Structure 1
Amino acid sequence: MSDPLFEEDEVPTWIFTFADLMSLLLVFFILMYSLSKMTETTLESALSSIQIALSSNGANINQSPRFYSGGGSKLIAPETPQLADTQDLTFSEEPIDTEEREQVNEIANDIANKMVSSNLSNAVSVFEDGEKITIRVDGQTLFESGEAQLSYEAEFIFNKLIDIFNRYPEYSISIQGHTDNIPINTVRYPSNWELSAIRATTALRYFLEAGFRPERMTATGYADSIPLVRNDSPENRAINRRAEFVLQKDPDLQKLYGK
Structure 2
Amino acid sequence: MSDPLFDDDDNAGWIFTFADLMSLLLVFFILLYSLSRMTETTLVAALSSIQIALNSNGALVRQDPLKYSGGGTETIKPVEPQMATNKELTYAEEPVDEVVREEVNTIANDVASRFNAASMDSQVSVFEDGEKITIRIDGASLFESGEAEILYTALPIYQTLLAIFNKYPDYDINIKGHTDNIPINTTRFPSNWELSAIRATTTLRYFLENDIPAERMTATGYADSIPLVRNDTPANRAQNRRVEFVLQRDKDKPIPFTQNNP
TM-score by length of 2: 0.65
Percentage identity across paired residues of the two chains: 62
Listed as ranges, the gaps of 5+ residues in structure 1 are 1-65, 68-77
Q: Which residue of 2 aligns with 1:48?
A: none
Pairing 1:97–2:93 present: no
Q: Which residue of 1 aligns with 2:42?
A: none
Shift of 1:94: 2.3
SS of structure 1 residue aligned to 2:208 = helix
Q: Structure 2: how far apart are the matches of 1:145 and 1:151?
A: 11
CA-based RMSD = 2.1
SS of structure 2 residue aligned to 1:225 = coil
Shift of 1:183: 0.4
Q: Which residue of 2 aligns with 1:12?
A: none
Q: Is the 8 A contact 1:127 1:135 kept in 2?
A: yes
Q: Is the 8 A contact 2:174 2:247 kept in 1?
A: yes
Deviates more, 1:82-91 or 1:150-159: 82-91
Which amino acid in structure 1 is aligned with residue 181 of structure 2? Answer: N
- The 5-angstrom pairing of residues 53-72 of structure 1 reads none
SS of structure 2 residue aligned to 1:224 = coil
Which amino acid in structure 2 is aligned with residue 83 of structure 1? Answer: Q
Q: Which residue of 1 aligns with 2:217?
A: 217
Shift of 1:79: 8.2
Q: Structure 1: how far apart are the matches of 2:90 and 2:81?
A: 17
Which amino acid in structure 1 is aligned with residue 246 of structure 2? Answer: V
Cα deviation digits, residues 25-65 of structure 1 (max 9, x gap) = xxxxxxxxxxxxxxxxxxxxxxxxxxxxxxxxxxxxxxxxx
Shift of 1:138: 0.2
Q: Which residue of 1 aligns with 2:150?
A: 150
SS of structure 2 residue aligned to 1:119 = coil
Q: Is the 8 A contact 2:176 2:221 kept in 1?
A: yes
Alpha-carbon distance change, 85 to 117 in structure 1, aligned in 2, over 3 angstroms: closer
Pairing 1:234–2:196 present: no
Shift of 1:90: 3.8
Listed as ranges, the gaps of 5+ residues in structure 2 are 1-56, 59-76, 258-262
Q: Which residue of 1 aligns with 2:139?
A: 139
Alpha-carbon distance change, 161 to 85 in structure 1, aligned in 2, over 3 angstroms: closer
Q: Which residue of 1 aligns with 2:81?
A: 82
Q: Which residue of 1 aligns with 2:178?
A: 178
SS of structure 2 residue aligned to 1:206 = helix
Shift of 1:148: 0.2
Shift of 1:129: 1.5
Q: Which residue of 1 aligns with 2:22?
A: none
Cα deviation digits, residues 192-239 of structure 1 (max 9, x gap) = 000000000000000000001111000000000000000000000000
Cα deviation digits, residues 123-142 of structure 1 (max 9, x gap) = 01100012100000000000
SS of structure 1 residue aligned to 2:227 = coil
Q: Is the 8 A contact 2:175 2:218 kept in 1?
A: yes
Cα deviation digits, residues 163-191 of structure 1 (max 9, x gap) = 01111000000000000000001110000
Alpha-carbon distance change, 223 to 203 in structure 1, aligned in 2, over 3 angstroms: same
Q: Is the 8 A contact 1:81 1:230 kept in 2?
A: no
Q: Is the 8 A contact 2:84 2:226 kept in 1?
A: no
Shift of 1:88: 4.2
Q: Which residue of 2 aligns with 1:187?
A: 187
Deviates more, 1:196-205 or 1:101-110: 101-110
Q: Structure 2: how far apart are the matches of 1:172 and 1:136?
A: 16
Shift of 1:80: 8.4
Q: Structure 1: how far apart are the matches of 2:246 and 2:155?
A: 19
Q: Structure 2: how far apart are the matches of 1:176 and 1:85?
A: 14
Cα deviation digits, residues 93-141 of structure 1 (max 9, x gap) = 3210112111101110110000000010010110001210000000000
